[in-house]
Amino acid sequence: MIKQQKLQYHLRKKPYLVDAIAGNSAMLVSLGQTGRLYRLWWPHIDYPQHVDEIRTGLRIGSTPGGVTWFDDPEAGWQHSANYLPRTNAYRVISTHPDYSVEVEQTDYAVPGQPLMVRGYRLTNRGQETRDLEFYHYGSFQIMDNELYMTTEFAVQEDALLHFRHQYAFAVGSSIECSEYQAGSGAWHGAANGYLNGNQIDMQPDGAMKWVFAAIEPGQSVLLPIYIAAGHSRHEALGALTVAKSRSYEEWFTEMETYWSDYLANAAPCPGGNEQIVALYERSQLAMKLMADEATGTIVAAPEFDEYFSRCGGYAYSWGRDAAFVTTAFNKAGLGALSEKFYDWSITAQEADGSWQQRHYHDGSLAPHWGLQIDEGSSLIWGMWEYYLHSGEQEAFLERMWPAVERGAVFLVQYLDPETGLPLPTRDLWEEREAEHTYSAAAVYGGLTAAASFASRKGKDRLAELWRSAAERIALAIEERCWNESKGSYYRGLKLTVSKEDYEAAIARGERGFVQQRDKGYMRYVLEFDPIVDISLLGISVPFNAVPVDSPRMARTADTIEQLLTSHPVGGIRRYEDDSYIGGNPWILTTLWLSHYRTLQGRYEEARRHLDYAVKHVTSSGLLPEQVDQVTGETAWVVPLTWSHAMFVLAVHMLAERGEL
């Protein structure tokens, strides 16, 4: 009960769906279309997160009542929001039917600085002179922890300082504030428009107020607010001093130039209409923010469900996702990000040669559900893809080889002598244990890549051993995994189920067996998993365990499209009986089918699936994970790095064939 109450309180401050992200690959923030800043990560993009809530608002002249907060749904503010073109700066314009005031808010992080800039331009749109009071309230949750915070007002620096242990955040402006309050009921004070000057408190929150008197009709005032980070109070205040040493316009120009140069040095979109080009560039920009500056780690998405209330969290690095993302980096002219990621990936490898499900930026194991054998095999496959893209850099080969060798040895040892497939592990959706066909194809891809690396190293015996093992997997997929009655490959063999599901399946005439586990526990196993799943396309695209033009593969793709197309909104669901977040169509699954149709030469269909992604971007132009199956609106996870990667890959596949 207490946990549920905490969750409900948390969700009032931080919804599952966000509207935008901003950052510089060391600092990352998530934002709402009201301009509210929900979360801030620093000095890495996955952990730790430091913000409880940050809110801003106005008190307008002699208007009755207290402060009106821009993000308050009952306050009546109306917002339009979007990214500034070709940048990672997010702008919100807020107006109110009862106040002749326009608030233009621009959020961005300064590249190379531990600094978040929040620019507020307040414009009097009325016919009379206006007095405005601007309020900034901040409650920090440093290191994702509610305890042991201190907030103090640094008089000399004119800033609120929030700190805990080795993290500190200084909040201030180049314009001196009029009032402040550290703790001591700061929210109550801010809401009522009076800050009491309390200078220090062992509380997480504080507020500041700025007064702008006699703003003439049509006149604007600019208030830059800086959030500066450091590993000590002195570091944070020093970073704030640097922030104040330059004008808001100078910081803005530096940020704008950085992202302009970043796109200029990347590969341009290889074709397509204006919407495709815009989404391609937004993908390049968003994916950069999902790659950690210090380590190279690639995260699936900014975290939004810290309590694991509806999922298992997303702010981690999965080898599987990253293999697709780095392949997109290669195509998008961002190969340096791929190389940095693979240099990081070898730090996350286990002693036995495996890679576990997901990791933090430092290579340590994140919360997980157990081994997913496609993770490590995808990494080896991705290393080879980058090696080819890089012009076969000898130095990269030498750095990767020890990890590749250990990884390939593990994969070969993990094969089931009965079926020829990899032994049971979790599937790519992290929901069930079996000998999954997709995972087998990924292991095929990993072993084939390892064999190619071995050949480059002159280790012909290993190359032959691993290539032969891969060929046996491909043969096992063809001999054991075809389901003629459904016109599709089986999703897997030896599927572990509950006792109840096992007994019901046996009663229906399905085949299975019961196995004794450790300490006398029983495992109930069905011989086949017949569910049609989009991941079956991975047998051919990208791992090529079965050729794209195989009649069986073509039938599988047609069955997938027939059974998994979502009505009425379109798009492709993950699998037949999907119930996660209601069983919506996903962007990446729809683009996966676009990939396959392109390689088939069915270009019109491939473009249709590509267009689906273009039409279902969020209001700020990002790609989500899921689209609501009824409304067609964004349903879950913004942005999903894998979605953006699949879009970039789909664009290049079509463009390379002159069909974009």
266-306: pLDDT as tens digits:
999 999 999 999 999 999 999 999 999 999 999 999 998 88
Whether the ω angle into residue 568 lies within 30 degrees of 0, i.e. cis, is yes
Residues 147 and 80 in one domain: yes
Instruction: Tell me the CA end-to-end span of the chain in Å, nearest whole number.
Output: 54
pTM metric for this prediction: 0.96
The pLDDT value recorded for residue 1 is: 53
Residues 451 and 313 reside in one and the same domain: yes
Structure-block tokens of residue 9:
């309180």
Round to whole Å and give the CA distance between 189 and 399.
57
Q: How many CB atoms lie within 10 A of CB 558?
A: 12
Residue ranges, the chain, pLDDT below 70: 1-11, 62-65
Q: Roughly what angle, to the nearest 10 degrees, separates helices 319-331 and 274-289? A: 130
Q: What is the pLDDT of residue 13?
A: 81
In a domain, 15, yes or no: no
Q: Are residues 308 and 192 in the same domain?
A: no
User: Which residues are CB-neighbours of 361 under 8 A, at least 6 positions away?
Assistant: 44, 45, 46, 47, 292, 294, 295, 297, 317
Residue 485: strand, helix, or coil: coil
Angle at 168 between CA 166 and CA 170, to 5 degrees: 165
Kindly list the distances between the CA atom of residue 236 and the CA atoms of 113, 143, 154, 178, 384, in Å, as whole numbers in the listed order.
Answer: 11, 16, 11, 22, 42
How high is the pLDDT of residue 4? 62
Give residue 5's pLDDT: 58
pLDDT for the residue numbered 7 = 63
Judge whether 518 lies within some domain. Answer: no
In the numeric block, the tokens 């020093």 are attached to: 238
**Do 443 and 426 sit in the same domain of this protein?**
yes
Q: Is residue 604 part of a domain?
A: yes
Position 66 scores a pLDDT of 84
Give me the pLDDT at residue 632, please: 97
Distance separating alpha carbons of residues 138 and 121, to the nearest angstrom: 20
Measuring CA to CA, which residue among 328, 193, 236 is closest to residue 640?
Answer: 328
Residue 468: Cβ within 10 Å count: 13
| Parallel, antiparallel or unpaired: strands 159-164 and 167-173 | antiparallel
Q: Is residue 234 domain-resident?
A: yes
Tell me what pLDDT residue 84 has. Answer: 98
Q: Do 280 and 246 fall within a single domain?
A: no
pLDDT for residue 10: 62
pLDDT at 63: 64
Residues 279 and 227 grouped into a single domain? no
C-alpha to C-alpha distance for 134 and 103, rounded to whole angstroms: 11
In this structure, are 221 and 238 located in the same domain?
yes
504 within some domain: no
The two tokens of residue 258 are: 């950085």
Domain assignment present for 396: yes
Copy the structure tokens of residue 263: 């796109």
Based on the domain organization, do 231 and 351 belong to the same domain? Answer: no
CATH of the domain at 63: 2.70.98.10
DSSP conformation class of 347: G
Neighbours of 26 (CB within 10 A): 19
Predicted local distance difference test score (pLDDT) of residue 304: 86
Q: How far apart are CA 522 and CA 524, in angstroms?
A: 7
Residues 301 and 249 in one domain: no
Strand stretches in 404-540, DSSP E: 425-426, 433-436, 482-483, 488-489, 492-497, 512-516, 522-529
Q: What is the pLDDT of residues 588-624, one digit of tens each?
A: 999 999 999 999 999 999 999 999 999 999 999 999 9
How many domains does the chain divide into? 2
The candidate with the shortest Cα–Cα distance to 170, out of 222, 242, 111, is 242
* Same-domain pairing of 429 and 308: yes
Residues 6+ apart with CB under 8 A from 267: 331, 332, 333, 334
Chain Cα centroid distance, residue 302: 5
Of 247, 262, 277, the position where a domain reaches its end is 262
Q: Which residues constitute the domain of residue 205? A: 20-262
Residues 6+ apart with CB under 8 A from 93: 79, 80, 81, 102, 103, 104, 105
User: Looking at residue 384, which CATH number applies to its domain?
Assistant: 1.50.10.10
CB burial of 11-25 (b: ≥16 within 10 Å; e: otherwise) equals: eebbeeebbbbbbbb
Whether residues 212 and 284 share a domain: the answer is: no
Whether 99 is covered by a domain: the verdict is yes
**Same domain, yes or no: 209 and 305:** no
Cα 543-544-550 angle, rounded to 5 deg: 145
* Preceding amide of 422 cis, omega within 30: no
Q: Which of 262, 278, 304 finishes a domain?
A: 262
Angstrom distance (rounded) from CA 569 to CA 367: 34
CB 136 within 8 A of CB 56: yes
H-only helix segments in 224-265: 233-244, 248-265
| Domain final residue, candidates 262, 292, 326 | 262
Residue type, position 461, single letter? R
Instruction: Tell whether 2 is covered by a domain.
Output: no
pLDDT of residue 481: 98
